[in-house]
Structures are given as structure tokens and as C-alpha cells.
Amino acid sequence: MALTVEARRRLLREMLFARRFEERCYEAYVERKIGGFLHLYPGQEACVHGVMEAARPGFDYVITSYRDHVHALKCGVDPKAIMAELFGKETGCSRGRGGSMHIFDVRHRFMGGYALVGGPFPLAAGMAKALQLKGAEEIVVCFLGDAANNQGTFHETLNMVGLWKLPVLYVCENNLYGIGTRIDRSTAVIEQYRRVCGYNFPAAQADGQDIDVVFEAAKTAVDHVREQRAPYFLELLTYRYRGHSMSDSNVYRQKEEERRWSSRDPVILMRDRLIEAGEMSLEDYKALDDEILERLETEIITFAENSPEPDVAELERYVLAENDPWVRGGP
């Protein structure tokens, strides 16, 4: 099953919006409007967009690590609420308490970004176990980076996931680096999907820069998880165009390597494909870009800037659950 022309045009819009959103976050951080940690996603857009195009955003549950803004966008979380969260405002999706690494919106079944490397592995398994017990139709999609696979949670969780046959898709966005350490200096088995062979469920590898390829691979993976109610591991080869975080000067990578990966920019690949097919002109693309940039400034940034700060008197709110306690089997 291939992407339709209409789907490609929509996905180009979504990926370009995600790219400009992240670039505007970078600028806002430099302007000191955003504080704390900030991990950006440019270069990897085809990964989450291709996978979630095969899944069902808003129906399936999604969880990821700290590089989470674009995953939230693809799940349908309001970009104004995400930007307000980055600005630390009360109108943010986590009420200004979470910041960049803790975007969360249960209404869209985006179960959060998590700061702990490898932390989402067992959380995704727990959600999948709950779905299994309920006999639900949904699946869980868990995104993590390659460096997370060296954590103990990777092996412990995948063993239980394989044993219990849980409906979860693990997506490894392999961008070759864990902070500043290249994968061949930290990992004995470079091809991450091969590490899953000991846990008795299927795994595959695909080009993470080409959204058509990502979608095809993800469709196979999602169909397996949904129909068999069993796990799958998908490794996507990709590359981040900025440093690990805003504190990373990004001086450890070879310029030739950066040029090689920049030549396969997922946004430009999709743009050129549409232009070659006669479905879009360069002028159309520039007009779309201008439209997105204007929306970012007049709607999203303005909303975040004008939103109120959290009330100091309520800073401890949302730390503990406020719902009434319930005991299973009780009166």
C-alpha cells in the first residue's frame, strides 16, 4: 500500500511545519524565552510522520523520549499548547510544569516525553499489558533513540514483551549518536534490529529519511501488532541536523558525514518527489513555507508570549493525583 498524492501533500505540509516549529524553538531559546533543556528534531521528520501515518493518531497510544515536540504534533496536540509549555506558561499542555522533555496530552493519547534514557521501554509495555487485559483494539507505539538500547530496560522489557506477546511497536530512531558518542564506539552490534533476535518477535530496518519507505515498513509493523496482538521492533536509520541539545556545540561530527545526510533531507526529498510528479511547483512550496512561518509568528508564538505564568500559589498542584481513591473489590 503506497501513499496517495493527497497524503504526500499533507505529509509535506506536516513535516515542513514541524521543521519550522523546531527552528522557531531554537530562536526562542536563543532569545531566552525558553529555558531548561531543549532537544530538537530537524532531520528526523520522516520517522514519526511515516510511522504514525500507518498507525492511528488519537486512537493508538504513543510514548517517546525527550525529543518529543514533533511526536506530539503528529498525534494532534495543539501547537499553541506545546509552544506555551516550552515557554513555561499555564496554558501549556503540562500547565507549564513539564517543559520541553515532558510534553503530555492524554486526550490525544500522547502519553508523554520522558527525560530518562530508556525509560519509555517498560512504560510502553505496561500500557500494552493493560490493553491486552482489556481486550482492546488499540496498540502502543514507543519511539526511542539508538543509545537507549544500551540501557538495561531495553533487554528486560523486550524479554517480557516477547514472553507475554504484548501489542506494542518499538521504533528505534537510530540517528547514529548518543549525545556526542557515535554508535560504533558504544555498541557491539551496530544494526539495532539484530539485537532483538533473542526475544522471539520480528524486527526490521528501514531508511528513516524517505517517508515512503518509512510508511511501507511501518505499515507492515503496525499490521502485525494490531492483527497478531504481538510485538514488533522497527529500526529507522536517520540523522539529526543539530546537536544533541542546545548545550551541544556539535563539533564532533565530520563535515562530509553532515553533507551526506543533508543531501537526503526528508522534507526536500518529499518536496522534490511532488514537483517531479507535477503535483506541486517550487512556487507552491514557497507559498506553503511563507504560510507556515506567518502562522508560527502571528498565532503560535504570540499565544505563548501572551499566556499567563503559572500561579505561584498553585505550583504544587498536579504533583499528586486529585481524584478520589478507589480500591478494587471494595464497596
Cell numbers for 252, please give them: 564532533
Q: What is the mean pLDDT of residues 21-28?
A: 98
User: What is residue 257's predicted lDDT score, i.e. its pLDDT?
Assistant: 93
Q: Is residue 68 a contact partner of residue 85, using CB atoms and an 8 Å limit?
A: no
Q: Residue 104 pLDDT more than 80? A: yes
Cell numbers for 224, please give them: 502485525
Q: Residue 330 pLDDT more than 70? A: no
Q: What is the mean pLDDT of residues 130-134?
A: 98
Cβ-based burial of 205 (10 A; exposed 0-12, middle 13-18, buried ≥19): middle
Which residue is associated with the grid cell 537510530? 174
Rounded Cα distance between 33 and 15, Å, is 24
Q: Report the chain's mean pLDDT, rounded to a whole number.
A: 96
Rounded Cα distance between 63 and 81, Å, is 18
Count CA within 13 A, CB hemisphere, residue 204. 16
Sorted by sequence, the CB contacts under 8 Å of residue 312 that are 6+ apart come out as none
Q: What is the mean pLDDT of residues 180-208?
A: 95
Task: Kindly report, residue by residue over 53-71, the tens digit of the pLDDT.
Answer: 999 999 999 999 999 999 9
User: What is residue 319's predicted lDDT score, i.e. its pLDDT?
Assistant: 84
User: What is residue 249's predicted lDDT score, i.e. its pLDDT?
Assistant: 82
User: What is residue 331's predicted lDDT score, i.e. its pLDDT?
Assistant: 60
Phi/psi at 140 (5° precision): -110, 135
Nearest CA to 73 out of 95, 96, 44, 97 is that of 44
User: What is residue 229's predicted lDDT score, i.e. its pLDDT?
Assistant: 98
pTM over 0.85: yes
Greatest Cα-to-Cα distance within the chain, rounded to the nearest angstrom: 68
Span of 157-161, 195-199, 251-255 with lowest mean pLDDT: 251-255
Per CATH, the number for 5-305 is 3.40.50.970
Residue 20 CB coordination number (10 Å) = 17
The 3-class secondary structure across the chain, one letter per residue, is CCCCHHHHHHHHHHHHHHHHHHHHHHHHHHCCCCCCCCCCCCCCHHHHHHHHHHCCECCEEEEECCCCHHHHHHCCCCHHHHHHHHCCCCCCCCCCCCCHHHCCEHHHCEEEECCCCCCHHHHHHHHHHHHHHHCCCCCEEEEEEHHHHHCHHHHHHHHHHHHHCCCEEEEEEECCEECCEEHHHCCCCCCHHHHHHHHCCCEEEEECCCHHHHHHHHHHHHHHHHHHCCCEEEEEECCCCCCCCCCCCCCCCCHHHHHHHHCCCHHHHHHHHHHHCCCCCHHHHHHHHHHHHHHHHHHHHHHHHHCCCCCHHHCCCCCCCCCCCCCCCCC
